[in-house]
A and B are shown apart, each in its own frame.
Chain A
Amino acid sequence: DAKTTQPPSMDCAEGRAANLPCNHSTISGNEYVYWYRQIHSQGPQYIIHGLKNNETNEMASLIITEDRKSSTLILPHATLRDTAVYYCIAPNQGGKLIFGQGTELSVKP
Chain B
Amino acid sequence: GAGVSQSPSNKVTEKGKDVELRCDPISGHTALYWYRQRLGQGLEFLIYFQGNSAPDKSGLPSDRFSAERTGESVSTLTIQRTQQEDSAVYLCASSLAGAMGGYTFGSGTRLTVV
Q: Which residues of chain B from 37 to 56 have a CB within 8 Å of any chain A CB?
A: 41-43, 45, 48, 50, 56
The A contact surface, by secondary structure, is loop
Could you say which residues of chain A place their CB within 8 Å of the CB of B42? 85, 87, 99-102
Could you say which residues of chain A place their CB within 8 Å of the CB of B56? 94-96
A17 within 8 A of B: no
Please, what's the 1-or-0 string for B75-114, where 1 marks a CB less than 8 Å from any CB in chain A? 0000000000000000101000010111101111000000
Could you say which residues of chain A place their CB within 8 Å of the CB of B43? 38, 44, 99
Q: Which of B33, B42, B102 has the most CB of A within 10 A?
A: B42
Total residues of chain B contacting the partner, CB 8 A: 22
Bound Cα distance from A85 to B91, whole angstroms: 16
For the A-B complex with A36-B103, A96-B33, A99-B43 known, give 14 more contacts whose Cβ atoms are closer than 8 Å: A32-B101, A43-B91, A43-B93, A43-B105, A43-B107, A44-B43, A44-B105, A46-B101, A85-B42, A87-B42, A94-B56, A95-B98, A97-B45, A99-B45
B: residues with CB less than 8 A from A are 4, 31, 33, 35, 41-43, 45, 48, 50, 56, 91, 93, 98, 100-103, 105-108
Q: What are 5 contact pairs spanning A and B, CB under 8 A?
A: A34-B101, A42-B105, A43-B106, A96-B56, A97-B45
A: residues with CB less than 8 A from B are 32, 34, 36, 38, 42-46, 48-49, 85, 87, 89, 91, 94-102
